[in-house]
Structure 1
Amino acid sequence: MKKLHLHIGSYKTGTTSIQDTLFQNRDTLNQLGYDYPGGEVNHHFSFFATQAPVEDWPRQFKSLDGNKLRSQIANYVSVLENDFNAEYEEQIVSTEYLFISNKDYVRSYIDYLSRFFDEIVVYVFIRKPYDFYRSGQQQMIKARSYLTSPQKFRYQFREVIEVWGSFCDVEVIGYERGKDSSKILCDKIGINYDQLTVPQEKSNVSLSLEQMLLLEKIQKMLYQNQENKFKSHLDLLHHVNPPFVNKAELQPEVKALIQKNHRENLKWLEDKYGVNLLDDNIDTSATAKMPVYDNERVSVREVFDIKDEKLVERYEALVIDVVLKKIVKDHN
C-alpha cells in the first residue's frame, strides 16, 4: 500500500527550509524507506494537476513564457510520475502553492494523486495570524509600494483545512518562530531527523524595518507602473544589512486588530485540532485603540513600529554610500 505525505504550507512557515532539507537528503531518505520525488527542490509545478485556470495560478507562473512553461511542466511531470511509480511505499511532496481552498481544484489534485497512492495525508503549518500578516507584508513590499490593510487582511486557514479535510486526513501543526519546521514535519511523518544533513544557509531572511521603508520609497518613486512585480536588483538590499537595523515589528494595536478579526477561526482551530494560536497577552477588547484605515492600501509607517527615525536615515545614507563606492570601483 503506497502512502503520500503531502505538505501544503502555509506560506511563511519554514516551507523553503523544509524543501531544501528534504531535497538535499534524498539519498538518505531513500535509505530510510522514503522518497522525495521529482527533480526539483519543491513541487510547485504539481499545482497544475489542480487544472486551475490562468487567473487562479500562483503569481510566479503568470509572468512566464507560455511555451517555455508548458515544456517545463511536461518535463517535470514525466520525472515526477516516474518516481511516483518507483518501489518506495512512502513518498513526500511539498509545495505551499497548494495552500488553496477551491474544492474543485483540490478534488482534481486528489484525483490525480489517487492514480499512484492508496493513502494521502496532508500536513499544514499554521502560524499566528498577525505573524503571518507581518511576514507576508515583508515579502510583498519587495514587489509593490504598499501593504495590505490589516483591516482587510484575512488568513484563510480554516477554509483551506476544511476543504482538504473533506478529501483526506489533515495534520495541523502550530508554527512557532525559532522552532525547526523541518524537524517537526519529519517527526510527524516518522523520519529520524538526526540522520539528515541540515542545510547551513538560511533562506528567505526577513527584511529589517529600515530595509522595508527604503524599498517602499523606491517602489513609490520609481516603479508606480510596475506594482506586484518583483525587481531582482532590489534583492541586493539583503546584502546591506548592518548591525544597527531593527527587526520589523507590528504596532500593538495592529496585532490586536488582526487577532480580533481571526478570533472565531482561532477558537475553531483549538477546538477541532488542539492548536492554540491565540495570544493571551493581546487585549482585543480595547476597541477604542483599534486603528481605522480609509482604504485597502496602507504604508509601512501605518502598521509597523518605527523605533528610531535617525536609523532610517542612516540606513538610506549607508546604501547610497555602498552604491557610490561600487560605481567608482567599476569605473577604475
Structure 2
Amino acid sequence: MSRFAKFEGSNKRKIVLHVGLPKTATTSIQDSIFANAKLLKQDHGIDYCVDLCDLADVKCTGHHPLAWATFFPAHPHSKPINGQIVKERLQLSDNIFLSSEWFTTANQLQIASIVEEWGLPTDRRVLLVYRNEFDHIRSSWLQAIKMGYSFLSLEEFYFQRYKPTRNTIADKVKKWAMHGFSVEVLSFDDLKKSGNDMAIEVLNRVYDIKIDQDKWGQLTASNVSPPRGAVNLYRKLIHLLNSVKPSFTASWTEAEYHLLHNKMCGFLAHIPFVSGKQDQVEDDKIRDDLVKLPTFFDPTQIK
C-alpha cells in the first residue's frame, strides 16, 4: 500500500488534500474534524481551515465550496472564489488539511492551475480512502437515489452509469501525482477495524500522531444508508409517482429529494424487509462482471 514519507521539519510548509472516495465515511470524517478543528490545531498544529468550508449558500463541514468553485463550477451551489484569497489563507499555516470528495472531479489542467494559484508548497499530498469495489458501487447507487439523480435498480446503475465511466484507483490518483503530489491510499475496511473514530484513525495514520480520544468530541455517524429493501420500495414509489404525474417532481431540487428520501426511508426502515432473490441475482451479475475488469486497486500501480 502506498504510504507518505514522514513529514519533515516543522518549518516546512505542507498540505494534505483528502479527496474521497465518496462513500468512504467522508462526511463523518469531515463532520468530526470540523467539530474538533480547534483541538487539532492546538494539540497537533494541523489547520483544517474551517473558514474555507463556509463559502457557499449551504452548510458544509468539508471544503466543498472550494472544490465546486475550482473544479466543478456547474454545481448548483457553486460560487466564484478568488484564488488570491485562498492563497493568502493557506499561507497563514504551515500544516494544512483540506477535505472534499469533490476534489476527485479535478482534471489535470485544473490541478496544474491550483499549484500556482493557491501557492501550494512543494510538500503537497493527496489522500484517498478506497473500499471494496462492490460496496463502493452499492453505496454510490444508494447516494444517487437519495439525491434524486437516478432511480435505477442496482444492476441497471452498474451497467448504465458506473461501468462506462469506471476508473481504477491508480487512474484516480495519477493525475495528482503528475503535478508533484505524493499519494497515499488507505483502506476503508482497515480503518474501520481499528475501532477508532474514522477521522482520528485517518489523521493518526497520515501524520504519525496519536490523538487523545478522550479530548476528541465524538459525533454520530453521518449519511448512513437505510436498508436496501426500504430503498427499493422508495424508488418504486417514485417511479409510480413519476408515471402518474411526472410534472410533480420535475422541478425538485437535490435538497427536496434528499428530504423526501430521508423521511420515507426512515419510515420504511421499520418494516422487516428480507433480502429478495432478485437482489442476490443482481449482486451476482455485478460481481461476475467485476472480475473481468482491471483490478480496482493495485498497490503496485500507485507511485
Could you tell me the TM-score, scaled by structure 2's length? 0.73
Q: Counterparts in 2 of 1:40-51, with a 5 A limit?
A: 40=53, 41-48=61-68, 50=70
Tell me how far 1:175 sits from its aligned partner.
1.7
Residue 131 in structure 1 maps to residue 150 in structure 2:
no
Residues 71, 106 of structure 2: 8 Å contact kept: no
Tell me how far 1:139 sits from its aligned partner.
1.4
Q: Counterparts in 2 of 1:110-189, with a 5 A limit?
A: 110-113=115-118, 115-142=119-146, 143=148, 144-147=150-153, 148-152=156-160, 153-154=162-163, 155-156=166-167, 157-167=169-179, 168-176=181-189, 178-179=192-193, 181-189=198-206
Residue 265 in structure 1 maps to residue 295 in structure 2:
yes
- Structure number with larger C-alpha Rg: 1
Partner letter of residue 183 of structure 2?
A: V
Partner letter of residue 22 of structure 1?
A: I
2:218 corresponds to which residue? 199
Residue 94 in structure 1 maps to residue 102 in structure 2:
no
Partner letter of residue 42 of structure 1?
A: G
Tell me how far 1:272 sits from its aligned partner.
3.0
Residues 49, 108 of structure 1: 8 Å contact kept: no
Residues 150, 257 of structure 1: 8 Å contact kept: no
Partner letter of residue 145 of structure 2?
A: I
1:84 corresponds to which residue? 90
1:217 corresponds to which residue? 236
Residues 15, 96 of structure 2: 8 Å contact kept: yes
Tell me how far 1:198 sits from its aligned partner.
4.2
Tell me how far 1:163 sits from its aligned partner.
0.9
Tell me how far 1:223 sits from its aligned partner.
3.4
Partner letter of residue 184 of structure 2?
A: E
2:112 corresponds to which residue? 107
The alignment yields a C-alpha RMSD, in angstroms, of: 3.1
Tell me how far 1:217 sits from its aligned partner.
1.5
Q: Distance between the aligned counterparts of 1:132 and 1:265, measured in 2?
A: 14
Could you tell me the TM-score, scaled by structure 1's length? 0.67
